[in-house]
C-alpha cells in the first residue's frame, strides 16, 4: 500500500519574528503511509504541518505534492484535510452541515447534487460510527465525538493528504487510547496518506508506519517505530522516546566499559574515549557486587503501569531508575549493584 | 472540598460583601430614587408635555413640512452612517482580531477617539477642514461642492461620533473566537469570501445586530457634532434633535416635546431590543460570557 512519494518537504526554513522555528528540514512522505511527527513542545511540529497545509508559508525551501510544486499554492487548492487539536467545528451548523461544508463550498460545476452530498455524509457518519448524530450541533457532542466529526469533515473532500495536529491532545487518556486504535482502523480501511502530530511517544510508536522525530526545528531521525527504538541516531531521539539512564563510560575498540568493567554494549567504529551510555530502566538488572557496573543504595520503589520500579542513588549523586520483574522487596537504604544488559552509546 | 463545607454550619449572612439589612435597604432606595428622578421622570415629562394639548396638537407637530423634512434627513443620515460603520467596524475588528501588524495599538486607540472627544469638537474639526474658511474650503467652492451646512457634513459628523460602536463590540468577540474555524473552512476549499459569509458572519451575528442597534440610536440622536456642521437651515439641514431644540427655543413646547417623544420612543424600542438580545443571546454577545 505504501509506495511512491506523496509529499516531499525540501530544505524548509521558517523564522517567526527573530526566532528560527524550522532549519533546513527535509522529509519524504510516502503515499498511503501514516507518518507520525513526534517532538517536544515547541519543536516546530505544528509549524511544519501548517506549512504543508498552506496555512503558513516558509521563508525558504519547497513543498512538493507528487510532481507538483505546491510551495506557493493557496490553501484552498492544496486539497489537504486538516484536523485541529480543538476540533474547530462550525458551532452554528449541524453535524451533517459540518461534514458537507467542503462539498457545498465548491463551485457549482464541481458540486455534487443534494442527494449525492447527503449520501456521502451518511457514508462518512457510518464510517465514524455516529450515524444517528446528523442533526445535532457540536455543543451537544462529547470531545471524542467532536473530533470524529472533524475527521469526517476533512475526509469528505477526499484530500490527497490528511493532516492531524495533536487530534487527541484535548481528550482524556481512555478516550485517547480508543480513538488511536480507531484512527488506525480508518487508515487501514481508506489507505489515506496521513501525517499525525503528537508529542506522546506511545501514541506515535503504536499508531504509525513511520515516525519522524523533530527537535528544535530539525529532523533528528525518520524510520519505522522499531528502527527509531532499536537504532536511535542520537541521544536526543533516545531520550525523547522514553525514560533513560545516563552513565559515564569509556569506549575503546568497539568495547564499552563502565567503572572499568566491560559491558555487553558495543560502540560504533570511531567512537573512542569518554562517552555516554544510555539504557532503559528494563535494561538494568540487580547483580552481585563483583559483576555489577554500577553501585548505589535503594532510595524508594513504586509501581508504574504494573511494573516495579526502583530508584537507586549512586554515590556521585545521580539517581537511576531500574525496572525489575523479579524483585523481592528492597528496603530503602539497602546497598545494591546493577548490571547493564544493553544500551546505546553516544559521544558525551 | 465542597462536601466538607456543606456539613459545616453556614457562616452568618454577614459575610464580607453582604451588608446588614438597613444599609442594603438604604442603598437600594437611593438607587431607585436616583433612577426615578434622573431617568424615569424626564422620560414621563416628555410624553406628558407632548400630549398636553391632546392628540390633535400632537399629530399636528408632524404635519408640519419642517418636521417631516427633519425626519427624512435623520433617516437618510442614519441610512448612510450605520451601514458605513457596519462595514468599517467589521473590517477594522477583523484586521485587529485576526492579524498581527505594526500600528495595531494605534488603530485601537484611534477607534476609541470619538468616545473621548467632545462631539462639539468633532463637529468643529469638520468645519475647519471643509468649511469655506477651512483647509479645503477654497478648492471645494471652486468645484461647487458643499459639505458643511449640507447633508455630506451631517453624515460625516454622524459617522465620526458613531464609529466606535460596531468595532468596540466585535473586537473582543472576534479575538475570543480566533481563526481556527476560518482556517478549517479554507482547508476545505472555501474562498476567503465564502468562509467569511458562512463561518465568520454567523459567529458574530448577534453581537453585530446588538452593536448596529446602539449605533443607529446614537446616529439618530446625535446633537452636538451635527449641530456644529448643520447650520440649522430649516427644512433643509435640521435633523430631529436639532428640530426639537429650535421648536423649544420658539416656546413651541407641545410640538417640541411631540418630536422629542419620537426620539424617546426610539430609545425605548432600542432598549427593549437590546435587553431581548442580552437575555436571549448573552453567550454570543460578549467574549467573557462564552463557555470555551
Ligand atoms: N505565529 C507565531 N508567531 C511567533 N512565534 C510562533 C508562531 N507560531 C509558532 N511560534 C513559535 O515557533 C516555535 C514552534 O512552534 P510550534 O507550534 O510549531 O511547536 P509544536 O512543536 O507544535 O509545539 P507543541 O507540541 O507545543 O504544539 C515555538 O517556539 C513557538 O513559540
Ligand atoms: Mg503544536
Encode pLDDT of A250-267 as tens digits.
Answer: 999 889 999 889 999 999
* Mean pLDDT on A152-173: 91
* Mean pLDDT on A69-95: 94
Residue A69 · residue A36 · CB < 8 Å: no
Q: How close, in Å, is residue A18 to chain B by CA atoms?
A: 15
Out of B180, B199, B202, the one facing A86 most closely (by C-beta) is: B180
Ligand 1 atom with least separation from CA of A56: 1
ipTM of the complex: 0.87
Task: Report d(CA B120, CA B103) in Å as an integer.
Answer: 28
Residue B77 · residue B199 · CB < 8 Å: no
Task: Report d(CA A204, CA B281) in Å as an integer.
Answer: 42
Pocket of ligand 1 (CB under 6 A): A 16-17, 19, 21, 39, 41-47, 199
Q: What is the mean pLDDT of each run of 10 residues along chain B (292 residues)?
A: 44 58 89 90 90 88 89 94 94 88 88 89 87 82 85 92 92 90 95 94 91 91 89 85 91 89 90 87 62 38
Task: Report d(CA A39, CA A222) in Å as an integer.
Answer: 12
pLDDT of residue B18: 62
Domains of chain A and any CATH numbers: 5-230 (3.40.50.300), 243-347 (2.40.50.140)
pLDDT of residue B292: 37
Residue carrying the nine cell digits 537504604: A333
- B chain contacts of residue A102, beta-carbon cutoff 8 Å: 188-190
Yes or no, beta carbons of B184 and A153 under 8 Å apart: yes
pTM: 0.82
Q: Which three cell numbers stand for residue B261?
A: 417623544
pLDDT of residue A328: 61
Per-residue buried b or exposed e for B217-252, using 16+ beta carbons within 10 Å of the residue's own CB: bbbbbbbbbbbbbbbeeeeebbbbbbbbbbbeeeee
Encode pLDDT of A190-216 as tens digits.
Answer: 899 999 999 889 899 999 999 999 999
pLDDT of residue B286: 65
pLDDT of residue A327: 57
Q: How many C-beta atoms surround the C-beta of residue A19 within 10 A?
A: 9
Q: Which helix (H) or strand (E) holds A238?
A: helix A235-240
Task: Report d(CA A61, CA A167) in Å as an integer.
Answer: 27
Q: Which of A49-53, A160-164, A320-324, B64-68 has the lowest mean pLDDT?
A: A320-324
Q: Is the C-alpha dihedral spanning A7, A13, A17, A21 positive or negative?
A: positive
Residue spans of the domains in chain B: they are 64-289
CA nearest to A254, candidates A241, A267, A244, A263:
A267
Residue A260 · residue A286 · CB < 8 Å: no
Size of interface A-B (CB pairs under 8 A): 62
Yes or no, beta carbons of A105 and B188 under 8 Å apart: yes
pLDDT of residue A339: 92
| Closest chain B residue to A75, measured at CA | B187
| Closest chain B residue to A158, measured at CA | B188
Out of A75, A89, A90, the one facing B186 most closely (by C-beta) is: A75
* Residue A88 scores a pLDDT above 80: yes
**Rounded alpha-carbon distances, angstroms, from residue A300 to A319, A330, B148:** 11, 8, 86
Ligand 1 atom with least separation from CA of A49: 18
pLDDT of residue B2: 41
Encode pLDDT of B4-32 as tens digits.
Answer: 444 445 555 455 566 678 888 899 999 99
Q: Is A137 on the interface with B (CB under 8 A)?
A: no
CB within 8 Å of B246: residues ≥ 6 apart: B232, B234, B238
* Residue A326 scores a pLDDT above 80: no
Q: Which of A25, A41, A47, A58 to mutate to test the pocket of ligand 1 (most atoms within 8 A of CB)?
A: A47
Q: How many residues does chain A have?
A: 348
CATH of the domain spanning B64-289? 1.10.3720.10
pLDDT of residue A149: 95
| Ligand of minimum distance to the alpha carbon of A48 | 1
pLDDT of residue A37: 95
Interface test with B, best of A50, A97, A99, A102 (most B CBs within 10 A): A102
Q: Which three cell numbers stand for residue B226?
A: 451635527
- At A9, is the pLDDT very low, low, confident or very high (cuts 50, 70, 90)? very high
- At A28, is the pLDDT very low, low, confident or very high (cuts 50, 70, 90)? very high
Q: Which helix (H) or strand (E) holds A302?
A: strand A294-304
Mean residue pLDDT of chain A comes to: 91
Amino acid at each position: 500500500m505504501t509506495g511512491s512519494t506523496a509529499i516531499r518537504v525540501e530544505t524548509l526554513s521558517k523564522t517567526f519574528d527573530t526566532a528560527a522555528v524550522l532549519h533546513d528540514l527535509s522529509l519524504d512522505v510516502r503515499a498511503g503511509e501514516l507518518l507520525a511527527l513526534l517532538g517536544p513542545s515547541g519543536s516546530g511540529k505544528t509549524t511544519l504541518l501548517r506549512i504543508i497545509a498552506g496555512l503558513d508559508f516558509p521563508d525558504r525551501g519547497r513543498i512538493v505534492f507528487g510532481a507538483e510544486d505546491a510551495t506557493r499554492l493557496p490553501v484552498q487548492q492544496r486539497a489537504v484535510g486538516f484536523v485541529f487539536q480543538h476540533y474547530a467545528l462550525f458551532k452554528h451548523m449541524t453535524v451533517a452541515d459540518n461534514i458537507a461544508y467542503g462539498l457545498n463550498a465548491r463551485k457549482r460545476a464541481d458540486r455534487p447534487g443534494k442527494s449525492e452530498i447527503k449520501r456521502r455524509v451518511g457514508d462518512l457518519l457510518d464510517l465514524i460510527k455516529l450515524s444517528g448524530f446528523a442533526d445535532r450541533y457540536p455543543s451537544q457532542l462529547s470531545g471524542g465525538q467532536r473530533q470524529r466529526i472533524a475527521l469526517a469533515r476533512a475526509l469528505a473532500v477526499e484530500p490527497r493528504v490528511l493532516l492531524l495536529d495533536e487530534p487527541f491532545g484535548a481528550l482524556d487518556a481512555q478516550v485517547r487510547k480508543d480513538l488511536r486504535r480507531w484512527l488506525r482502523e480508518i487508515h487501514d480501511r481508506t489507505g489515506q496518506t496521513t501525517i499525525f502530530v503528537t508529542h506522546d511517544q506511545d501514541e506515535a510508536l503504536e499508531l504509525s508506519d513511520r515516525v519522524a522525530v523533530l527537535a528544535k526545528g530539525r529532523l533528528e531521525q525518520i524510520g519505522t517505530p522499531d528502527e527509531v527504538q532499536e537504532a536511535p541516531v542520537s541521544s536526543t531521539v533516545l531520550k525523547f522516546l522514553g525514560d533513560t539512564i545516563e552513565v559515564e563510560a569509556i569506549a575503546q575498540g568497539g568495547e564499552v566499559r563502565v567503572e572499568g568493567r566491560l559491558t555487553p554494549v558495543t560502540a560504533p567504529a570511531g567512537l573512542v574515549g569518554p562517552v555516554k551510555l544510555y539504557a532503559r530502566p528494563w535494561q538494568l538488572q540487580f547483580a552481585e557486587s563483583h559483576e555489577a557496573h554500577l553501585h548505589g543504595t535503594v532510595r524508594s520503589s513504586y509501581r508504574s503501569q504494573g511494573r516495579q520500579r526502583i530508584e537507586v542513588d549512586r554515590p556521585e549523586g545521580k539517581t537511576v531508575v531500574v525496572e525489575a520483574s523479579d524483585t523481592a522487596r528492597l528496603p530503602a537504604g539497602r546497598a545494591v549493584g546493577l548490571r547493564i544488559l544493553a544500551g546505546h552509546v553516544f559521544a558525551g | 472540598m465542597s462536601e466538607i463545607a456543606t456539613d459545616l454550619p453556614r457562616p452568618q449572612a454577614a459575610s464580607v460583601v453582604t451588608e446588614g439589612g438597613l444599609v442594603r435597604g438604604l442603598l437600594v432606595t437611593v438607587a431607585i430614587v436616583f433612577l426615578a428622578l434622573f431617568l424615569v421622570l424626564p422620560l414621563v415629562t416628555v410624553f406628558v408635555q407632548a400630549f398636553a394639548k391632546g392628540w390633535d396638537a400632537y399629530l399636528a407637530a408632524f404635519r408640519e413640512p419642517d418636521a417631516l423634512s427633519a425626519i427624512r434627513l435623520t433617516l437618510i443620515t442614519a441610512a448612510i452612517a450605520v451601514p458605513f460603520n457596519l462595514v468599517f467596524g467589521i473590517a477594522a475588528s477583523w484586521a485587529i482580531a485576526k492579524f498581527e501588524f505594526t500600528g495595531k495599538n494605534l488603530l485601537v486607540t484611534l477607534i476609541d477617539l470619538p468616545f473621548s472627544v467632545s462631539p462639539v469638537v468633532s463637529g468643529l474639526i469638520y468645519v475647519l477642514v471643509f468649511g469655506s474658511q477651512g483647509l479645503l474650503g477654497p478648492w471645494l467652492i471652486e468645484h461647487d461642492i458643499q459639505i458643511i451646512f449640507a447633508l455630506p457634513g451631517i453624515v460625516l459628523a454622524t459617522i465620526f461620533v458613531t464609529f466606535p460602536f460596531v468595532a468596540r463590540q466585535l473586537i473582543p468577540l472576534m479575538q475570543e473566537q480566533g481563526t481556527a474555524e476560518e482556517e478549517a473552512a479554507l482547508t476545505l476549499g472555501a474562498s476567503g469570501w465564502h468562509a467569511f459569509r458562512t463561518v465568520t458572519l454567523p459567529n458574530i451575528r448577534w453581537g453585530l445586530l446588538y452593536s448596529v442597534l446602539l449605533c443607529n440610536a446614537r446616529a439618530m440622536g446625535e446633537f452636538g457634532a451635527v449641530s456644529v456642521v448643520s447650520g440649522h437651515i430649516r427644512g433643509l439641514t435640521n435633523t430631529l434633535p436639532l428640530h426639537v431644540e429650535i421648536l423649544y427655543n420658539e416656546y413651541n413646547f407641545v410640538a417640541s416635546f411631540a418630536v422629542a417623544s419620537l426620539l424617546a420612543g426610539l430609545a425605548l424600542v432600542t432598549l427593549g431590543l437590546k435587553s431581548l438580545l442580552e437575555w436571549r443571546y448573552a453567550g454570543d454577545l460578549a467574549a467573557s460570557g462564552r463557555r470555551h
